[in-house]
Amino acid sequence: MRLSAALRNACRGFPTASVRRSRTNIKVFGSEGRSVPVSSSWLLVRDGSSSTSSGSVGAAIKFGKHGNQTVGPATEIAVRDIIQRSKEEIAVLQKSHPALKPVLAIIQAGEDDTLLEMNKKMAGKIGLNVIQISLPRECTEDEIIEEVLKLNEDDKVHGVVLHLPQASLPSRVLNTLKPEKDVDGVTDLNIGRLVRGELNESFVPPVASAVMELLGRHEVSLEGKTAVILGENGPLEVALQGLLHSREMVVLSSLWNADSLQKQVLQADVVVVTSRGNMSVPPAWVRPGAAVINCSPALVSEEVNFPGQVMEISKATGVGPLAAALRMQNVVSSSTRWIQQQQYKQWKLRCLKLQPLSPVPSDIEISRAQTPKAIDQLAKEIGLLSDEIEAYGQTKAKVRLSLLDRLKEQPDGKYVLVAGITPTPLGEGKSTVTIGLVQALTAHLKLNSFACLRQPSQGPTFGVKGGAAGGGYAQVIPMEEFNLHLTGDIHAITAANNLVAAAIDARILHEATQSDKALYNRLVPSVNGVRKFSPIQIARLQRLGIEKTDPGTLTAEEITAFVRLDLDPEKVTWQRVVDTNDRFLRKITVGQANTEKGHTRQTQFDIAVASEIMAILALTDGLGDMKERLGRMVVGSSRKGQPVTADDLGVTGALAVLMKDAIKPTLMQTLEGTPVFVHAGPFANIAHGNSSVLADKLALKLVGEEGFVVTEAGFGADIGMEKFFNIKCRASGLQPDVVVLVATVRALKMHGGGPSVSAGAPLPSEYINENLKLVEDGCSNLKKQIQIAHLFGVPVVVALNVFKTDTQAEIDLVCQIAKNSGASDAVACHHWSRGGRGSVELAKAVRDASSQQNRFQFLYDLQLPIVEKIRTIAQRVYGADDIELSPEAQAKIDYFNQQGFGSLPICMAKTHLSLSHMPDKKGVPTGFILPIRDVRASIGAGFIYPLVGTMSTMPGLPTRPCFYDIDLDPETEEITGLF
């Protein structure tokens, strides 16, 4: 089983904590555990005589005491230097990554804590953690592999040591360990890299490093000297051969029973014993001045067969501490490499191949013909760690917000917004352009890129619009999952929204039917004889100016103020929601059952994506911020005219619980296997119509400094783009580098005076046949939208979404006019029929534009009066002469100013079918006064939204909805007819 988060946190409390796991339990030990004398390897140096030769290897090494081992000064100095160097490296790493705490995991069989104790002491000096996993002595290979696999995937563990009997370490076990965590250097890959001299990429066995460290700490050159390695072949022997060869020594390897053993030892300047068994080297074989290094795992004792006349056992130098220090150095190096891997680099993304067909099949046929990558594979390719994703099946996953902490020092990538000209009712393909662009950037230009899209509502999916996953060969897959429940975010919003609605009506009923005392006793009940306020109730008391925490001390007046919200049923602004187009819920009466005692009132349902909670999800930057925003939501007014919030209802914590998973963006992929975040889907009229701030922030970190994040704004640039800049960018602190403005010949012909178009009806001939005059006249709208983008100081690239009825002359004309109107570039795009390859020129244009100087600025100062902010948008963006406030709108503005909401940004709610408030006025209307019928506020989301005309928040189904074509094959479970 994987170590729990709680256990990991417990371990962090001990600088050198260890975890012992058996089949039945897990125990945590601190560094105060019993001390175990240990020495798993020793350096034996023969100094020959009192007059040593300056040219000998052994002459430079002197001896001293270290605990119950005899340790030479060279060893002490080496250990001290390595500890200091490792501490400095850790300090540098933790300066940029404060949460980093490298961990060494030791897997062992049985209860022998020999290796653990030495490594705990060394880890404590450097500042690392040690985790010990004790398996039963009789553990199987499969049990060892199971533990290794878990540690492989634990991103908090940076080193793994297998302290197991040799019989338990066949290649199958050793090579299960990830080479980057193999700090003992025993895997085939690490040994192979060492042999090839690739020391910067491999880990050297610490005992072998200890040998080389000591041999290198004297003034005698090792070049040309002879070394003999005695023992059985294994990783240590191979490592030593490679290291000694790298010092230009002559290296001989011999078995104990070799006929030439005596001759080899007599000639050797260095004798390295890697395994002893019952064998020993006779004293006469070792020549004066030679170094004898014993790396045997057996403890050295006085019974070692080196008589005093050759070498006194008291002069044995323990290299166990040195090997432990070098092992910790490897853990630090592993942590450093891990940190470096999190920095920007080009993804090693396996893109999916496309084979476009002509004619282009339906979207769902194209989607189903492509086999998506497993979502965990995609996550790994883009640099996500295994504990940063929560898979929902094979093709989608939630991404945890902890990623922002891990990559907070990483520079952001380039930020690209896709907007559009004023569209026809058919839509002009912003989502399709967005997907085509990222497919081109990543699959064809080999640049890191991410698309960030809104989650589509079930209402349009089953109503008029159909699917919203892009289209043709530029779409998100699987498109049926994208368009339906996805990971349940909209359902979570529906549940949270309706919980608030239920709380409102219940509170109105209870206050109307109970005395203050009865209300107080029920709101603050006695549990086991004790009454206490909940934290949210204490917060309400504080807002009322009551600084008491004992329920028994409130006065009668304070009790009345506490228990009575006094919500005016006529001034409740909070509506229920459902994610279905249901026109008969636009106005309803609630409370008609006898149990509600005649407390009826009129209310309505909105579609779920119109909920303020959806807007909050799209603008929040974390759980704490989201909870605060949810608490600030104003649900109505009291009879005294005071705002009543979700905090006052006491429901904030419950809302946060319902939304705790919805706050995580959903990872999916395009047809070409490039990553997509799908998150949030606020209405683009009464809300800001953009995907989430969190998705954009996560994506900007993942793509790295040279990568691109492409996000989409709803409706035309006059609505979605303006709100993106003035609302979303204020909330996020992010600044876009490029605006991609989507246009179609079809929409330009409409703005040039072409006949109206509607969904489901055949296109008039003007839209099918070439008509340069209509196109040229309609480009007035394109020019205006380019000017709007330039108001914010951002470069513009025009993406002409080409349809099969468009002629080359029409395409050339649009691109030329766009460039003449100030666009950095204008490119014809064929992604719908060709995929990313059809948008390569657009991708190049975006890449070039992103390097231009950016003078981003907001359109207005938040401290301007509400009326002036509305007027600024109406005149500078829409082209109105002025605004006209209804008496109701003026009264609302006065109220919002009185309540302190005057510094919020403005989210205009108007038709998307015209720059003006009149849907039938195409092109660039002028000379009009913009009427402001009403002004409302989403205080939790953080904006004021004026209503221009009548805005429906509950769409209705047409005579023939999309659901007529949607079906499920009961045999194959395939969905048909989504689009």
Residue 888 CB: number of other CB atoms within 10 A? 13
Active site residue 347: no
Question: Could you tell me the two tokens for 763?
Answer: 């296109």
Active site residue 465: yes
Question: Could you tell me the two tokens for 868?
Answer: 């002036």
How far is CA 940 from its chain centroid? 25
How far is CA 294 from its chain centroid? 49
Residue 500, CB-side half-sphere exposure with 13 Å CA sphere:
31
Helix ranges (H only) for 217-296 are: 235-246, 261-267
Active site residue 398: no
3-class SS of residue 716: coil
CA-CA-CA-CA torsion sign (175, 180, 183, 189)? positive
Residue 98 CB: number of other CB atoms within 10 A? 11
Can you tell me which residue has the tokens 């779409």?
A: 475
Distance CA 213, CA 215 (A): 6
Helix ranges (H only) for 268-310 are: none
Active site residue 684: yes
Active site residue 876: no
Active site residue 430: yes
- Residue 941's nearest CA partner among 533, 483, 616 is 616
Q: 12, 52, 783, 803: which is the annotated catalytic residue?
A: 803
Contact criterion met (CB below 8 Å) for 563 and 523: yes
Total count of residues recorded for the chain = 979
Residue 931 CB: number of other CB atoms within 10 A? 18
Q: At what angle do helices 652-659 and 535-543 cross, to 10 degrees?
A: 130
Q: 562, 715, 896, 901: which is the annotated catalytic residue?
A: 715
3-class SS of residue 381: helix
Active site residue 803: yes
Contact criterion met (CB below 8 Å) for 179 and 214: no
Distance CA 772, CA 640 (A): 62
Q: 70, 274, 317, 432: which is the annotated catalytic residue?
A: 432
Q: 832, 901, 928, 979: which is the annotated catalytic residue?
A: 832
Residue type, 859: L
**Residue 600 CB contacts under 8 Å (≥ 6 apart), including other chains:** 589, 590, 591, 592
Q: What is the DSSP letter of 464?
A: S
Cα maximum dimension of the chain: 112
- In sequence order, what DSSP letters do the residues of 558-612 get, joined into one string? HHHHHH---EEEEEE---EEESS--GGGSSEEE--SGGGTT--EEE-EEEGGGSH
- Secondary structure element (H or E) that encloses residue 398, with its range: strand 397-399
Active site residue 683: no
Q: 21, 46, 193, 454: which is the annotated catalytic residue?
A: 454
> Alpha carbon of 192 to those of 27, 110, 283: distances in Å?
37, 31, 35
Residue 959, CB-side half-sphere exposure with 13 Å CA sphere:
2
Distance CA 931, CA 979 (A): 38
Contact criterion met (CB below 8 Å) for 548 and 635: no
- Residue 941's nearest CA partner among 604, 571, 689 is 689
Residue 362 CB: number of other CB atoms within 10 A? 14
Q: 125, 400, 414, 430: which is the annotated catalytic residue?
A: 430
**Residue 710 CB contacts under 8 Å (≥ 6 apart), including other chains:** 416, 417, 418, 434, 437, 438, 441, 449, 450, 451, 452, 740
Distance CA 157, CA 131 (A): 9
- Residue 598's nearest CA partner among 509, 518, 515 is 509
Q: 465, 632, 837, 871: which is the annotated catalytic residue?
A: 465
Q: Give burial (CB, 10 Å; 0-12/13-18/19+) of 946.
A: buried
Distance CA 106, CA 91 (A): 24
Catalytic residues: 430, 432, 454, 465, 684, 715, 803, 832
